[in-house]
């Protein structure tokens, strides 16, 4: 579901995300961000946005899209397909300066614990907050098992911030975004606070240019999303923040594909995350350096099936 943005900016369906990669030499501890006080009721704009996204989800489901099965007999996967898809998704930028998806990247991953802060707008009901928190905690545990990283929710010193707010609250997120990503510029902040409805959700990442290690990330998900699109945003944006920044129309089954066929992390996506954090790879590798290792890992994971 191409739901994302990277600083590197990654986004979902008909995105107009900015394309900048910000390298940081050092990162200070992240202050705990705060949301502004709630309004008494959702605005007519928020109500209209919720209706729009409900219509989008209904239309996609009617077309047989937003699948949650992870792939099956109709989505055969070979080692060659897996290797090529990994290289397209991990080694290229989704929104390059000159050509979408064609800007090569060096392999970039997290090198230490990913500490996730979850922040809700006051408009999000307590029961829905509890559901979202449980879903995200479960998903982070799954990603931790796949990557070998320590990934979990924290109450302080986060390096990955997730904000789920209404459109009314989103416009006041500037301080939270700059707390999460201190070197972000005003145009990039506006990419969140003034996000077009055709960008379903997004993630900004910041990496150390010298070490090719991710150091911070910020995920935004509109509170107006219906249940499945909301969960799909969680799956794609958090996974992209781990180092799979691009989308490819050739990747199937995968959430890293703007065709919206799959809503949730698929079997192939799990394999790509396993490959990304395999110790045989090293941060900063070029595609040429990584390719033979990736091809070998793909053959090993799929039992030599080419």
pLDDT digits (tens, 9 = 90+) for 157-194: 999 999 999 999 999 999 999 999 988 999 999 999 99
pLDDT at 183: 85
| pLDDT tens figures, 117-144 | 999 999 999 999 999 999 999 999 999 9
What is d(CA 64, CA 286) in angstroms, rounded to the nearest whole number? 37
| Average pLDDT estimate for 278-285 | 97
pLDDT over threshold 50, residue 109: yes
Q: How many CB atoms lie within 10 A of CB 97?
A: 10
Instruction: Give the residue from 259, 244, 277 showing the smallest Cα distance to 85.
Output: 244
Place of tokens 């993630």: 203
Mean pLDDT of 279-291: 97
Which residues face 67 on adjacent strands?
A: 262
Tell me the CA distances in angstroms from 251 to 38, 208, 262, 264, one per residue in order. 41, 28, 11, 14
**φ and ψ at residue 133, rounded to 5 degrees:** -65, -45
The pLDDT value given to residue 18: 28
Query: What is the spatial distance between Cα 192 and Cα 194, in angstroms, rounded to a whole number?
Result: 6
Amino acid 57: pLDDT:
98
Largest CA distance in the chain: 59
Q: Are 267 and 254 in contact (CB under 8 A)?
A: no
pLDDT at 97 over 90: no
CA distance 213 to 22: 11
Does residue 204 have a pLDDT over 50?
A: yes
Burial of 25 (0-12, 13-18, 19+ CB in 10 A): exposed
Do 159 and 206 meet the contact criterion of CB atoms below 8 Å apart?
A: no
Both tokens assigned to 32:
């705990």
Closest CA to 114 of 264, 22, 216, 184: 216
Q: What share of the chain is helix, strand, coil (3-state, %, to 5)?
A: 35, 15, 50
pLDDT band at 40 (very low <50, low <70, confident <90, very high): low
Average pLDDT on 37-47 reads 76
pLDDT attached to residue 304? 66
Give, in degrees to the nearest 5, the angle at Cα 181 between 162 and 224.
30
Q: What is the pLDDT of residue 103?
A: 82
> Quick one: pLDDT at residue 223?
97
Q: Which letter does DSSP use for residue 93 in this model?
A: E
Which sequence spans correspond to the domains of the chain? 9-25+44-301
What's the confidence (pLDDT) of residue 41?
78
Residue 98 carries which DSSP code? Answer: S
What CATH architecture does domain 9-25+44-301 belong to?
Answer: 3-Layer(aba) Sandwich (3.40)
- 3-state SS, residue 101: coil
Share above pLDDT 90 across residues of the chain, in percent, rounded to a whole number: 80
Identify the weakest region by mean pLDDT among 26-35, 153-162, 175-184, 224-233: 26-35
**Residue 64: pLDDT over 80:** yes
Give me the chain's average pLDDT, please. 87
Q: Residue 12's closest CA among 234, 266, 242? A: 234
Mean pLDDT on 30-55 = 74
- pTM exceeds 0.95 for this model: no
Cα end-to-end distance, the chain, whole Å: 26
Tens digit of pLDDT for each residue in 257-279? 989 999 999 999 999 999 999 99
pLDDT at 20 over 90: no
Asked if 11 and 161 touch (Cβ cutoff 8 Å), the reply is no
Q: What is the pLDDT of residue 10?
A: 47
pLDDT tier, 94 (very low <50, low <70, confident <90, very high otherwise): low
Name the phi and psi angles at 280, rounded to 5.
-70, -25
Element (H, E) at 205: strand 202-208
pLDDT reading at 30 higher than 60 = no
Distance of alpha carbon 134 from alpha carbon 252, whole angstroms: 28
Q: What is the pLDDT of residue 179?
A: 95
């Amino acid at each position: 579901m191409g739901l994302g943005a990277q600083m590197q900016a990654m986004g979902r369906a008909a995105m107009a995300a900015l394309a900048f990669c910000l390298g940081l030499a050092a990162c200070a501890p992240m202050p705990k961000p705060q949301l502004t006080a709630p309004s008494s009721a959702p605005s007519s704009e928020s109500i209209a946005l919720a209706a729009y996204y409900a219509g989008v989800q209904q239309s996609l489901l009617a077309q047989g899209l937003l699948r949650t099965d992870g792939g099956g007999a109709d989505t055969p996967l070979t080692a060659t397909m897996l290797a090529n898809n990994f290289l397209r998704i991990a080694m290229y930028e989704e929104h390059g300066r000159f050509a979408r998806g064609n800007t090569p990247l060096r392999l970039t991953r997290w090198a230490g614990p990913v500490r996730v802060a979850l922040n809700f707008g006051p408009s999000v009901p307590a029961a829905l907050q509890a559901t979202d928190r449980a879903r995200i905690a479960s998903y982070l545990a799954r990603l931790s098992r796949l990557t070998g990283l320590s990934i979990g929710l924290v109450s302080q010193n986060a390096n990955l911030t997730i904000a789920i707010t209404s459109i009314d609250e989103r416009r006041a997120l500037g301080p939270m975004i700059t707390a999460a990503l201190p070197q972000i510029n005003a145009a990039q902040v506006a990419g969140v606070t003034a996000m077009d409805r055709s960008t379903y959700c997004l993630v900004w990442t910041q990496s150390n240019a010298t070490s090719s290690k991710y150091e911070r990330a910020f995920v935004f998900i509109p509170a107006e999303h219906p249940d499945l699109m909301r969960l799909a945003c969680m799956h794609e944006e958090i996974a992209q923040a781990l180092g799979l920044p691009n989308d490819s129309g050739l990747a199937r089954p995968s959430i890293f594909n703007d065709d919206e066929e799959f809503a949730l992390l698929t079997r192939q996506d799990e394999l790509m995350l396993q490959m990304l954090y395999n110790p045989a790879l090293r941060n900063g590798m070029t595609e040429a350096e990584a390719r033979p290792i990736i091809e070998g890992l793909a053959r090993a994971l799929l039992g030599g099936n080419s």
